[in-house]
Amino acid sequence: MPDKPSNGQYVTPRGGTPYTGETQVMRRLNTPSGSPSTPQRRRWPLGRILLGLMMIVLVIGLGYWQVWQLAQRVVVSDPRGPALSSPLLGANILVIGVDIRRDRPEEGVRSDTLMLIRFDGMGGWVNLLSIPRDTQVELDEPGPSKINAAYAYGYRHATELYGDGVTPEQAGMAYAADTVSRFLNFDRRGMRVDYVVQVDFDGFAALIDALGGITIDVPRRIVDEVYPTPDYGVMRVEFEPGPQQMDGARALIYARTRHADSDFGRTERQQQVVQAIVQEIQQRNWFERILLIPRLRGAIAQDGETPAIVTTLPIANVDTLLAVARVAANLDPALIGRYRIEPGTVAVQTNGSNLIWDANDVAALVTRWLTPPGEASEQAQVQVFNGAGVVGLARRTSEKLAANGFTLLSPADAPPGEYPRTVVYQIGNTPFTARRLAQLLGADLVVGSPPGISSQADIVVILGNDVANGE
């Protein structure tokens, strides 16, 4: 601040120009080189760049070493020969959940779950297809049998089927894969089951525990009074509806229980668990995922013990790693395609407790399973219910939706009650259609069945007061 002498005139200290009350224009100072003094763009020193590259290479190398170590323990050769397809370009992977009592070999083995995964690395998508274990197929010797007997048959006849040096597990996996391929008529499509993953109950629970648990949104209350225990007894299990965190043991019970509904309800829950596992992995960054690998290896493949998970998928191969990396970077777990062979989707007849599925319906379902996820493959049907009490609202909304390309069933009135907001209920495996529908209506989206409403539609819309007020 300039000093002010007694005569009232400001002066500039140190001999500067006296201040007269007028605005003074200052010249821009130049740099020594003569160029304007502008902020300089920050340049990264070469050392920092090299250090960053070295860190990236180190992390990738560490991750690959961990995967290679895991592969040495869990990857086995396929006695059927090399696969026809790569996971990077699209492959069929059969997941077999097996009940093996290693401490009681006299009990034998049996497959508890058969789930096919269509894995397309380049496309970045995954579809699931569950096959009921009571499905009737033809085996080599027993004749008409349940499809879950295929693994046990191969397990018991390893040498006769595939020659010396093939373990019972390898033979069981191979024979189950060939049986599934024949049942789905893959040969007519020029394909087969390419890879197999075998998971026993302990491995399933250990995998989830290594992830720190998973979150499951239970759609409805489940009570099973006779859930089987490892000592051949039974116990009562109960699940309340709503989101809940589950450890491995709890998730295994959720995936296996079936007495509260049916085996078809169980396959739905198994697919839901797979989706939750993917969701749990997706929530981690790449460094955290790499750190998971040694935990997984320790949980499922302890040294000196039979691995709880065995696979013919070459997880350490470059094409497999690239496929997994691409899917992990792009896949939304909510958009995993979930298909099931079940009544209502496929016509069925019974032979005792065996299920004989209509071949044409199965072929149509397989075609959808092989198609990248999207509205076209979902073929969703929508039904609109009027919860706002405005006459003709459901009909007019249905006409609007039909004009936007949706397939509509006849509209109806919602049960008596309060419906302040419009809600879209995704009942079937139709996430793409349900999302677009909810966005178009500005509605909430709920995965599950609407309370108090029975509908044949894949998606149910209950119109609320918000739509009535904005009409």
Could you read off the pLDDT of 239-274 as tens digits, one per residue? 998 899 999 999 999 999 988 787 888 998 999 999
Q: Average the pLDDT over 148-164 and give the result.
A: 93
Reported as a single tens digit per residue, the pLDDT across 307-335 is 889 999 999 999 999 999 899 888 888 88
Distance between CA 463 and CA 456 in Å, rounded?
18
> In the structure, what pLDDT confidence band is assigned to residue 190 with cuts at 50, 70 and 90?
very high
- Alpha-helix runs per DSSP H in 317-430: 318-330, 359-369, 375-378, 393-403
The answer to pTM > 0.75 is: yes
Note the pLDDT of residue 299.
84
Query: What digits encode the pLDDT tens for the residues 103-113?
Result: 665 566 778 89
Instruction: Pick 232 or 240 by higher pLDDT.
Output: 240
Distance CA 114, CA 106 (A): 23
Q: What confidence score (pLDDT) does residue 334 get?
A: 85
Residues in CB range of 226: below 8 A, 6 or more apart: 234, 259
- Write the DSSP symbol of residue 252: H
Spatial distance between the Cα atoms of 293 and 66, rounded to a whole number of angstroms = 6
Looking at residue 252, what is its pLDDT?
94
Q: How remote is the C-alpha of 423 from its chain's centroid?
A: 24
Backbone angles phi, psi at 337, to 5 degrees: -70, 130
Instruction: Tell me the C-alpha distance between 163 and 158, whole Å.
Output: 7
pLDDT tens sequence across 301-311: 766 577 889 99
Q: Is residue 15 very low, low, confident or very high in pLDDT (cuts 50, 70, 90)? A: very low
Question: Would you state the structure tokens that stand for residue 243, as one six-digit string?
Answer: 């989101």
pLDDT classification of 136: cutoffs 50, 70, 90: very high
Checking if the pLDDT of 453 tops 70, the result is: yes
Q: Quick one: pLDDT band at residue 53, thresholds 50, 70, 90?
A: confident
Strand partners, 94: 116, 196
Q: Which two tokens stand for residue 466?
A: 């918000």
pLDDT at 59 over 70: no
DSSP codes joined into one string, 136-197: EEEETTTEEEETTHHHHHHHHTHHHHH-TT--HHHHHHHHHHHHHHHHTTGGGGT----EEE
The full DSSP string for 262-323 is -HHHHHHHHHHHHHHHHHHHHTS-HHHHHHHHHHHHHHH--TTS--SEEESS-TTSHHHHHH
Stretch 373-392: mean pLDDT: 91
DSSP, res 352: T
Average pLDDT over residues 446-467: 91
Average pLDDT, the chain: 85
Q: What is the dihedral of CA 118, 121, 124, 126, to 10 degrees?
A: 20
CB 166, CB 179: distance < 8 Å: no
For residue 287 the two structure tokens come to 């460094």
CA dihedral for 293, 295, 300, 303, sign (positive or negative): positive
What phi-psi label fits residue 362: left (phi over 0), alpha (psi between -120 and 50 degrees) or beta? alpha
Task: Say if residue 16's pLDDT is above 50.
Answer: no
d(CA 426, CA 456): 12
Return the percentage of the chain with pLDDT > 90, whole number. 59
The per-residue DSSP string of 138-154 comes to EETTTEEEETTHHHHHH
Tokens of 374: 């999207």
Q: Give the pLDDT confidence score for residue 307 in this predicted structure.
A: 85
Q: How confident is the model at residue 286 (pLDDT cuts 50, 70, 90)?
A: confident
- At residue 233, the pLDDT reads 86
- Look at 119-123, 350-354, 375-379, 435-439 and tell me which has the smallest mean pLDDT: 375-379
Q: Tokens in use for 92?
A: 């069929």
Is 425's pLDDT higher than 80? Answer: yes
